[in-house]
């Protein structure tokens, strides 16, 4: 996230303006940001551990005036190294499908995102291996 912010900062002018009741920096020229998508994994077990990151990404999208298109999230990703590739092939396939959906229709379907972030093993087994 820090690298993302460091890379977009030069696109902004050094002064502030008000936008929607918040202070914001105007961009240089007529810069267009398009769309923002978050793709992230975490070793933490639950999907709700991404909450702060999601809020931060939404704020970055607002700051850059881009359309936030959603997030592709993979919790307890450390489990992938303990499992056979066949046991999570559907997760990788769903991640590819989410990309296709985003390009073709501009939306990643909830069902597809649920497969990407599905449980890979029981929590007690996961914690026992850490």
pTM higher than 0.75, yes or no?
Answer: yes
Helical H runs in 1-122?
A: 2-8, 51-63, 89-105, 110-116
**Contact (Cβ atoms closer than 8 angstroms) between residue 117 and residue 79:** no
pLDDT along the chain (130 residues), means of 10: 80 84 81 85 95 93 86 97 96 98 96 98 94
- Provide the residue ranges of all domains of the chain, joining segments of one domain with +: 2-129
């Amino acid at each position: 996230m820090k690298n993302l912010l460091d890379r977009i900062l030069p696109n902004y002018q050094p002064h502030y303006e008000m936008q929607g009741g918040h202070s914001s920096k105007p961009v240089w020229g007529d810069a267009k940001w398009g769309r923002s998508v978050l793709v992230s994994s975490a070793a933490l077990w639950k999907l709700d551990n991404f909450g702060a990151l999601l809020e931060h990404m939404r704020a970055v999208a607002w700051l850059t005036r881009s359309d936030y298109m959603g997030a592709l999230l993979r919790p307890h990703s450390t489990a992938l190294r303990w499992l056979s590739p066949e046991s999570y092939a559907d997760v990788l396939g769903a991640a590819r499908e989410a990309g296709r959906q985003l390009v073709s229709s501009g939306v990643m379907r909830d069902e597809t995102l649920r497969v990407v972030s599905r449980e890979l093993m029981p929590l007690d087994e996961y914690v026992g291996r850490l």
